[in-house]
Chain A
Amino acid sequence: MASSPKIIVIGGGLAGLSAVIKIAEMGGHVDLFSIVPVKRSHSVCAQGGINAAKNLKGEGDSTWKHFDDTIYGGDFLANQPPVKAMCEAAPGIIDLLDRMGVPFNRTPEGLLDFRRFGGTLYNRTAFAGATTGQQLLYALDEQVRRYESEGKVKKYEHWEFLSAVLDSNKICRGICAMDLRSMEVRTFPADAIIIATGGNGAIFGKSTNSVVCTGSAQSALYQQGCFYGNGEFIQVHPTCIPGEDKLRLMSESARGEGGRVWVPKTPGDNRDPLSIPQSERWYFLEEWYPKYGNLVPRDIATRAIFKVVFEHNLGIDGKPMVYLDLTHIDPKILDRKLEGILEIYEKFVGDDPRKVPMKIFPGMHYTMGGLWIDFNQATNIPGIYAAGECEYQYHGANRLGANSLVSCIFGGFVAGPAAVQYARNLQTAPGNGHFDAERKHQEENNSMLMKSDGKENPFRLWQEFGELMTANCTVIRYNNKLKETDSKLCEMLERFRHINLNDRTQWANTSVVFTRQLYNMLQLGRVIAQGAAMRNESRGAHYKPDFPERDDKNWLKTTKAYFAPDADEPKFEFEAVDISLIPPRPRKYDAVK
């Protein structure tokens, strides 16, 4: 193979950019594809921070404790060796980001400051105000821009990955992508490709994710033969601000800095919250989980809020909402540490959270599931790697706050060199015909959509789909509802054949682009619904009242979905979890672990 490997990276969030930097540093050449200019990737939304056990607060924290918290928080579903490697690498990653110029908050001595996040008892989260993701992404973006100006990286922004190009031996030889302006479909050869396309919030209609987080690329690859791991594990974040177009997140850092969750003790109490005396407030998280208090993991906090709202009927104004209260904290401290998120609340709700308690409710936030990869970030198709939220490796059944950013960067740092290594040993392809064939296949998909003249509006279908998924495949799951969901998804896939595009122009046609993504979302929706239906236990974010206990005997297993093209549906197999380092123990946050 050529001495300078050519790698295609798809996605320019933290994971993609991390991979790009490593490849360029190793002398490889990168073509970087992204729907949005990489600086506008979803990673900019991350607010609270990034975890690393640097133990700068004299608390006796260690990378092993970070590892243990992560495995325990994930309810023992994550393979342990890669998680351990990530936690060991985390302090070095923070140092590197610091050297790149990330304006992390500082202690008076000029060292990095750390705060506490959910699911741990240590101050382990480094942060840059309340826009940590933005600051990290910019630092990596700047380094990539430097490589770009040296000619080592070529960016294809406003391009969408459609599919991988596989040769007759089912080895990946490149990609097929579409220019989102000219709508041209083109293939690009590469020695290896890295998928770093982020989350899939759009499957749930409204979520805390950005608009382009559809999971479409992951789904396309699943339909081409990649395994999809643990798809049923979806994180619902306890504290979101419901909105017309999206659910905006109120970061866990609000609780990390002392924010308290409460409801009035009497149903229907509609007094001004500030006039309700302490004795008439119910700080239910603090009462139920005295040790972790407001900082229990997200699945626990979310279910607690559901219980208070739906079983005790204590939602504010009779609506599914509870208070997240910061008003007891010095506004100066709030501004220094949380300004970015307070601003979001102010801008989008119109109230000042320094003065009035915020009204929040759980919302879809993150997918623990994703493309199945091995410990080298390789999928089961040779030449395809994955890193970041689009893969399943690091968070088990529930992700701890501030662990995603570190898993994205770590995953990229593993995937980049692994892809280069693979490329250096790659044999040449048995022919070139597969490029043309794939391009024609994708062009046909486009022209079919352009010609289709049914009645279904794709955006309305999406809304219906999202509501269905949110109702049945999030916090509380019942088998009959899950099965019903899957058959409704089949109906929607059928209705998809009668889609009406409204827009048939060949230039910057966002309807075609979205409609293609919608198809892939529907296919992935089935993986989530069926995976959830199969798993008869409760573990982390996956909760079934009919099977309330974790069942290690039958379900300490990774779900691997694969697409059966002849049947046009998912099939499943299961794989033992690597628990070689920490023996599973019951997960209980109401007691010392």
Chain B
Amino acid sequence: MANTKTVILKIKRQDNPNAKSHWEEFELAWHPGMNVISSMMEIARNPVTRDGKATTPITYDSNCLEEVCGSCAMLINGRARMACSALIDKLEQPIRLEPFTKFPVIRDLAVDRSVLFENLKTVKAWVPIDGTYDLGSGPRISPEEQEAAYPLSRCISCCCCMEACPQFNDDTGFVGAATISQVRLFNTHPTGAALKRERLAALIGDGGIQECGYAQNCVEVCPKDIPLTQSISEVGGEVIRQAVGDLFRK
């Protein structure tokens, strides 16, 4: 791609949640180091389509521009990924940009992903500390435990794993891989484990962990390489053990 003099972007646009979507095409002069966000910044500086029609700047979410805030997720050439780290030179042209399909569109490429934050409430994704007053240092944690927890804790809540998951849809009401992986993170923390039963209970039944068909799409798209299928099988095992145990206790 590096020798083409221009970059062509096809962007799916939608004025508001109820409007119909349409495509617009843009052609930009190529220069080194471009990524999808910097291209959209350029469009904002000169909002004219490829066929010369004046249009509006693209609405999209972004903040950190270094793939750590989780804002800029979208479909790029059909794949769920972060726009800020999508280098133009590594993409096939024309580059197609579309909003996620499984979340309500706000406008253009911006969608409403608040469902993930709601899910995190449901599974109590926090360490239940007594208070912020001085209670001395935390529990001892070995380097091995830290090295297991840290990768899980790098989830940026981008929702790529949910967009790519065949089971994540209105019919199943599936919570998705990110939430399950957070359950694993907090259940393995010495203090966080206090809420383990409640977290697992929240994953039992419709929309819970059983919906997962182990299609592994989630792992493939996760920009932070989080071992999601491992989290799912580990948490899945515990959910079953808890459910069976409860059955016998009844």
Q: Which residues of A contact B (CB under 8 A)?
A: 21-22, 25, 36-37, 39-42, 44-45, 92, 95-96, 98-101, 103-112, 128-129, 131, 134-135, 138-139, 142-143, 145-146, 148-149, 157, 181, 210-212, 243-246, 248, 336, 340, 344, 347-348, 350, 413, 457, 459-460, 463, 502-503, 505, 507-511
Given A210-B69, A245-B84, A142:B62 Cβ within 8 A: no
- Contact string against A for B residues 203-222, beta-carbon threshold 8 Å, 1 for contact and 0 otherwise: 00000000000000000000
Q: Which of A139, A143, A210, A340 contacts B63 (CB 8 A)?
A: A210
Least CB distance from B155 to A in Å reads 9
Residues of A within 8 A of B186 (CB): 101
Q: Judge whether B140 and A510 touch: CB under 8 Å.
A: no
Residues of B within 8 A of A112 (CB): 137
Task: Name the residue on A nearest B89 (C-beta).
Answer: A350
Least CB distance from A44 to B in Å reads 5
Q: Judge whether A459 and B126 touch: CB under 8 Å.
A: no
Task: Name the residue on B nearest A40 (C-beta).
Answer: B69
Q: Judge whether B191 and A39 touch: CB under 8 Å.
A: no
Further pairs besides A45-B64, A460-B46: 15, Cβ < 8 Å: A40-B63, A95-B134, A96-B135, A100-B127, A106-B145, A108-B142, A129-B150, A146-B128, A210-B63, A211-B63, A244-B31, A347-B67, A502-B47, A505-B56, A507-B16
The number of A-B residue pairs with CB atoms under 8 Å apart is: 191
Q: Judge whether A45 and B146 touch: CB under 8 Å.
A: no
- Contact string against A for B residues 14-30, beta-carbon threshold 8 Å, 1 for contact and 0 otherwise: 01100000000000000
Given A95-B136, A107-B143, A508-B107, A100:B129 Cβ within 8 A: yes
Residues of A within 8 A of B202 (CB): none
Q: Which of B57, B106, B126, B192 contacts A503 (CB 8 A)?
A: B57
Dominant SS among interface residues on chain B? loop
Task: Name the residue on A nearest B36 (C-beta).
Answer: A245
Task: Name the residue on B nearest A139 (C-beta).
Answer: B127
Task: Name the residue on A nearest B55 (C-beta).
Answer: A502
Q: Judge whether B131 and A25 touch: CB under 8 Å.
A: yes
Question: Considering the chains assembled together, what is the distance between the CA atoms of A40 and B73 in angstroms?
Answer: 12
Q: Judge whether B63 and A212 touch: CB under 8 Å.
A: yes
Which residue, B47, B129, B138, has most C-beta atoms of chain A within 10 A?
Answer: B138
Does B95 sit at the interface, judged by CB under 8 A? no
Question: Considering the chains assembled together, what is the distance between the CA atoms of A507 and B145 in angstroms?
Answer: 47
Does B233 sit at the interface, judged by CB under 8 A? no
Q: Could you list some 30 contacts between A and B, CB below 8 A?
A: A25-B132, A36-B61, A37-B117, A37-B157, A39-B70, A42-B63, A44-B64, A92-B134, A95-B136, A99-B129, A100-B138, A101-B192, A103-B141, A103-B153, A106-B145, A110-B142, A112-B137, A129-B154, A135-B153, A143-B126, A145-B126, A146-B126, A157-B114, A210-B64, A347-B85, A459-B57, A460-B46, A463-B45, A502-B47, A502-B55
Does B180 sit at the interface, judged by CB under 8 A? no
Does B229 sit at the interface, judged by CB under 8 A? no
Task: Name the residue on A nearest B147 (C-beta).
Answer: A336
Q: Judge whether A502 and B56 touch: CB under 8 Å.
A: yes
Least CB distance from B12 to A in Å reads 15
Residues of A within 8 A of B93 (CB): none
Question: Considering the chains assembled together, what is the distance between the CA atoms of A63 and B59 in angstroms?
Answer: 47
Q: Which residues of B contact A (CB under 8 A)?
A: 15-16, 31, 33-35, 37-38, 41, 44-47, 54-57, 59, 61-71, 84-85, 87, 106-107, 110, 114, 117, 120-121, 124-129, 131-132, 134-143, 145-147, 149-150, 153-154, 156-157, 186, 189, 191-192
Given A210-B63, A245-B38, A22:B16 Cβ within 8 A: no
Question: Considering the chains assembled together, what is the distance between the CA atoms of A248 and B41 in angstroms?
Answer: 17
Residues of B within 8 A of A143 (CB): 126, 129
Q: Which of A106, A135, A210, A510 contacts B143 (CB 8 A)?
A: A106
Q: Judge whether B70 and A510 touch: CB under 8 Å.
A: no
Q: Which of B31, B33, B137 contacts A95 (CB 8 A)?
A: B137
Residues of A within 8 A of B47 (CB): 502-503
Q: Judge whether A244 and B33 touch: CB under 8 Å.
A: yes
Least CB distance from B33 to A in Å reads 5
Task: Name the residue on A nearest B149 (C-beta).
Answer: A103
Q: Judge whether B16 and A148 touch: CB under 8 Å.
A: no
Question: Considering the chains assembled together, what is the distance between the CA atoms of A505 and B189 in angstroms?
Answer: 48
Residues of B within 8 A of A511 (CB): 44, 56-57
Least CB distance from A153 to B in Å reads 12
| List of 4 A-B pairs having minimum Cβ-Cβ separation, nearest first | A98-B138, A110-B140, A142-B126, A245-B38
Q: Which of A25, A101, A106, A210 contacts B189 (CB 8 A)?
A: A101
Residues of A within 8 A of B106 (CB): 181, 508
Q: Judge whether B65 and A210 touch: CB under 8 Å.
A: yes
Q: Judge whether B117 and A39 touch: CB under 8 Å.
A: yes
Given A505-B15, A508-B106, A245:B150 Cβ within 8 A: no
Least CB distance from B99 to A in Å reads 12
Task: Name the residue on B nearest A510 (C-beta).
Answer: B59
Q: Judge whether B146 and A103 touch: CB under 8 Å.
A: yes
Question: Considering the chains assembled together, what is the distance between the CA atoms of A101 and B126 in angstroms?
Answer: 8
Question: Considering the chains assembled together, what is the distance between the CA atoms of A92 and B133 in angstroms?
Answer: 9
Q: Judge whether B68 and A131 touch: CB under 8 Å.
A: yes
Which residue, B41, B44, B65, B128, has most C-beta atoms of chain A within 10 A?
Answer: B65
Q: Judge whether A507 and B68 touch: CB under 8 Å.
A: no
Least CB distance from A369 to B in Å reads 23
Q: Judge whether B64 and A42 touch: CB under 8 Å.
A: yes
Q: Judge whether B63 and A459 touch: CB under 8 Å.
A: no
Q: Judge whether B35 and A245 touch: CB under 8 Å.
A: yes
Q: Judge whether A145 and B117 touch: CB under 8 Å.
A: yes
Which residue, A111, A138, A340, has most C-beta atoms of chain B within 10 A?
Answer: A138
Which residue, A99, A139, A336, has most C-beta atoms of chain B within 10 A?
Answer: A99
Task: Name the residue on A nearest B155 (C-beta).
Answer: A138
Least CB distance from B144 to A in Å reads 9
Residues of A within 8 A of B124 (CB): 146, 149
Q: Which of B33, B135, B141, B191 contacts A106 (CB 8 A)?
A: B141
Given A22-B132, A145-B125, A248:B33 Cβ within 8 A: no
Residues of B within 8 A of A244 (CB): 31, 33-35, 38
Q: Judge whether A45 and B125 touch: CB under 8 Å.
A: no
Given A106-B146, A143-B126, A44:B69 Cβ within 8 A: yes
Question: Considering the chains assembled together, what is the distance between the CA atoms of A40 and B61 in angstroms?
Answer: 10
Residues of A within 8 A of B157 (CB): 37, 39-40
Residues of A within 8 A of B120 (CB): 142, 145
Q: Which of B33, B62, B87 contacts A211 (CB 8 A)?
A: B62
Residues of B within 8 A of A457 (CB): 45-46
Residues of B within 8 A of A348 (CB): 35, 66, 85, 87
Q: Which of A101, A507, A508 contacts B127 (CB 8 A)?
A: A101
Residues of A within 8 A of B191 (CB): 99, 101
Task: Name the residue on B nearest A506 (C-beta).
Answer: B16
Residues of A within 8 A of B129 (CB): 96, 99-100, 143
Question: Considering the chains assembled together, what is the distance between the CA atoms of A29 and B65 in angstroms?
Answer: 33
